[in-house]
Amino acid sequence: MKRANRLSRSRDFDAVYRQGRSVSTRFLVLYWFPQDEPAAPRFGFSVPRAVGGAVERNRIKRQLREVWQERLERVPEGHDYVLIVRQGLPEAVEANGFAWLGERVDELLGQAKVAA
């Protein structure tokens, strides 16, 4: 994913958490917040230690970056997004496959459009 599409600063994450809106499913939570000056959408991922060890957390982040990259054109511009992973997602992806993860992300994006 390009640098212009990444959230990297702690204060950007905090702004999305504190002032943004959210939707959730069993395994994922999506927060979004309008940017000050509309630009390309930016994404951040949060995978807590409860999800698994470092190898497992990094694997799920790589998979999520790939999913978001495929959907970048469909995501509305002018927003920052933070995707939080809940316990059990790595096991569910392993059992159901990578396409299943993409469906879960599409489900969140659909809910976010309805809520916006």
Rounded (5°) CA angle 75-82-6: 70
63-85 burial, b for 16+ CB within 10 Å, e for fewer?
bbeebbeeeeeebeeebbbbbbb
Nearest to 28 by CA among 51, 5, 54, 1: 51
Structural domain total, the chain: 1
Q: Are 22 and 81 within 8 A, CB to CB? A: no
CATH number, domain of 84, equals 3.30.230.10
Find the helix or strand (DSSP H, E) in which 79 lies.
strand 79-85
Q: How confident is the prediction along the chain (116 residues), in pLDDT tens digits per residue?
A: 677 788 888 998 999 999 999 999 999 999 999 988 888 899 999 999 999 999 999 999 999 999 999 988 888 888 999 999 999 999 999 999 999 999 999 999 999 886 66
Distances in Å between the alpha carbon of 15 and those of 36, 51, 59, 70, 71? 11, 24, 26, 26, 23
* 52 contact partners, CB below 8 Å, separation of at least 6: 60, 90
**Structural domain that includes position 27:** 3-115
Q: Please report the pLDDT score of residue 8 as a whole number.
A: 83
Instruction: Let me know: does 51 contact 14? Beta carbons within 8 Å.
Output: no
